[in-house]
Structure 1
Amino acid sequence: MNDIQPISRRRSGGPPLGILAIVHAGLFLLALIVGFVLSGAGVFLSPFAGADAVAAHAHADGAAIRVGAMLQFGSAVPLGIYAATAFARLQRLGVRVPGPVIGFTGGLTASIMLMVSAFGSYLLSRPELTSDPRLALAFSFLAFVAGGVGYVVGLGLLIAGMAVPGVILGLLPRWLAWAGLVVAALSELSFLSLAVEPLQFLLPIGRFAGMAWLIAAGFLLPVDRRDVRDRGRTPEEVRS
């Protein structure tokens, strides 16, 4: 019994990060798929299409927008849990620099922004609120900005908070840690799209590349320091 308890404590690193990232990405992608199935490509109408087009879209595809908002809100929850678990994991690994705090702040921001975006979409789906095209356009821009720049910038901070210790302390494979730094940098630069609209192409790069990175890092980030020491050693060396 005494031999089992230390192992149990050593492996209790919270919810599996990789699974949380998969659930987050899966729910978000499901929101896109359901919207496309219910209403076609038109369900993703940009607010830049104008107030009248947005209002007409809201009245025609309200149900699809509402279901997508529900799934998007749901995807924000595992992201917040991921950020908190990654913060605790890095602390457990002995990372005592601002990186984990920055990452947690970014992950929490991304989760909240995703929720705000979902609320904006939900309000857009309510016909009693969008009879005024200008109000419909305001809800559409809220959903777009919060779920675009707000989410991606926060996600970039989460990735950076994990990738920097991953490079410096060897907590992640070097290729993955450096890829994370690139994704994080592109995600942070996406804030420029608020004033320079052609840079909006950075938003889907930061979003989908960021989701993929969180999944990979979630499965490869060690649980405790022993895993870091054992990395790169042969099985015989580990047993000895």
Structure 2
Amino acid sequence: MTSTTHTVRGGPPLLVPAAAFTLLTAGAALTGAAGPRPDSAPTAVLADALARPGAIALGAALLLGSGIPLVVYAATALRRIEGAGLAVPGPVMGFAGAVLAAGSLSVSALAGWAGAAVAPLGDPVLARLLATLWFGAGGPGFVAPLGLLLLGLSVPVLLGGLAPRWVGWAGVVVGGCALLSVFALATPVLYPLLPVGRFGGLLVLLALAATLRPAPRGVPS
């Protein structure tokens, strides 16, 4: 009875939204791999949108959908940590980061979809504008708040011994790199932080989902 009650209060298994987020993110990344880069010429962006409207629309749908399990994951992790007796602000900040990250994914997805939809108009400047918004929202706009989610979950995990310490420290390191990616808007030198935050963060979320456990008795709240 005790075990069943704890499962209900803790929400669904974290691996379910983590796996959904992973699959949707991977699908969106694969469909967008052949897309324009931040330094692509407007004519190249337009040509790509005209050549791959179906792939771009599919990638936009996957990207938009990926934000939903991310928010579910954050809400479940928040309840799991609070239920373990840790009354700290980190999980709430992490949940806010997940909402911001999901919102950025929505903007990025809709910008990509709109770029493919208006490509037949033949305006390379408009195509470039929408591609820039697609990259900005899906790059730093997503990765930076994802860092807030990682730090908001990983610090309480370390304080309360809720998962192996290497998982908590991995979340702190990757989360810090993800937060720094906000400055990629100022210099392309920091573009490498984007895949570190995006895919490193994905691995941390999976590791947390697999290892997060209740806090030991006697841990101060």
List alignment gaps of at least 5 residues for structure 1: 230-240
Map 1:185-196 onto structure 2 (within 5 A): 185-196=176-187
Map 1:207-222 onto structure 2 (within 5 A): 207-222=198-213
Size of the aligned set, in residue pairs, is 217
User: How far did 1:7 drift?
Assistant: 2.9
The percent of aligned pairs where both chains have the same amino acid is 41
Map 1:142-181 onto structure 2 (within 5 A): 142-181=133-172
Look up the match of 1:72: 63
Give secondary structure in 2 for the equivalent of 1:152: helix
The correspondence for 1:7, drawn from 3, 8, 18, is 3
Structure with greater Cα Rg: 1
CA distance in structure 1 between the aligned counterparts of 2:203 and 2:22, rounded to whole angstroms: 8
User: How far did 1:139 drift?
Assistant: 0.8
The correspondence for 2:14, drawn from 17, 20, 24, is 17
Look up the match of 2:37: 46
Q: TM-score, normalised by structure 1?
A: 0.85
Look up the match of 1:32: 29
User: How far did 1:129 drift?
Assistant: 6.7
Look up the match of 1:232: none
Report if aligned partners of 2:50, 2:119 keep a CA contact under 8 Å in 1. Answer: no
CA distance in structure 2 between the aligned counterparts of 1:90 and 1:7, rounded to whole angstroms: 16
User: How far did 1:44 drift?
Assistant: 2.0
Look up the match of 1:139: 130
User: How far did 1:19 drift?
Assistant: 2.1
Q: CA RMSD in A?
A: 1.7
Report if aligned partners of 1:47, 1:54 keep a CA contact under 8 Å in 2. Answer: no
User: How far did 1:130 drift?
Assistant: 5.0
User: How far did 1:47 drift?
Assistant: 3.5
CA distance in structure 2 between the aligned counterparts of 1:173 and 1:14, rounded to whole angstroms: 21
Report if aligned partners of 1:190, 1:200 keep a CA contact under 8 Å in 2. Answer: yes
User: How far did 1:128 drift?
Assistant: 5.5
Look up the match of 2:76: 85
Per-residue CA distance 1:151-171 (angstroms, 9 max, x = gap): 111111111011101111111
Report if aligned partners of 2:46, 2:119 keep a CA contact under 8 Å in 1. Answer: no
CA distance in structure 2 between the aligned counterparts of 1:56 and 1:47, rounded to whole angstroms: 15
CA distance in structure 2 between the aligned counterparts of 1:113 and 1:168, rounded to whole angstroms: 30
CA distance in structure 2 between the aligned counterparts of 1:17 and 1:205, rounded to whole angstroms: 22
Look up the match of 1:236: none
List alignment gaps of at least 5 residues for structure 2: none
Report if aligned partners of 2:181, 2:190 keep a CA contact under 8 Å in 1. Answer: yes
TM superposition outliers: structure 1 runs of 4+ over 4 Å: none
Report if aligned partners of 2:36, 2:131 keep a CA contact under 8 Å in 1. Answer: no
Query: Is residue 2:104 matched to residue 1:113?
Result: yes
CA distance in structure 1 between the aligned counterparts of 2:207 and 2:177, rounded to whole angstroms: 18
Give secondary structure in 2 for the equivalent of 1:126: helix
CA distance in structure 2 between the aligned counterparts of 1:166 and 1:195, rounded to whole angstroms: 32
CA distance in structure 1 between the aligned counterparts of 2:181 and 2:153, rounded to whole angstroms: 19
With over 3 angstroms needed to count, the CA separation of the structure-2 counterparts of 1:165 and 1:138, relative to structure 1, is same
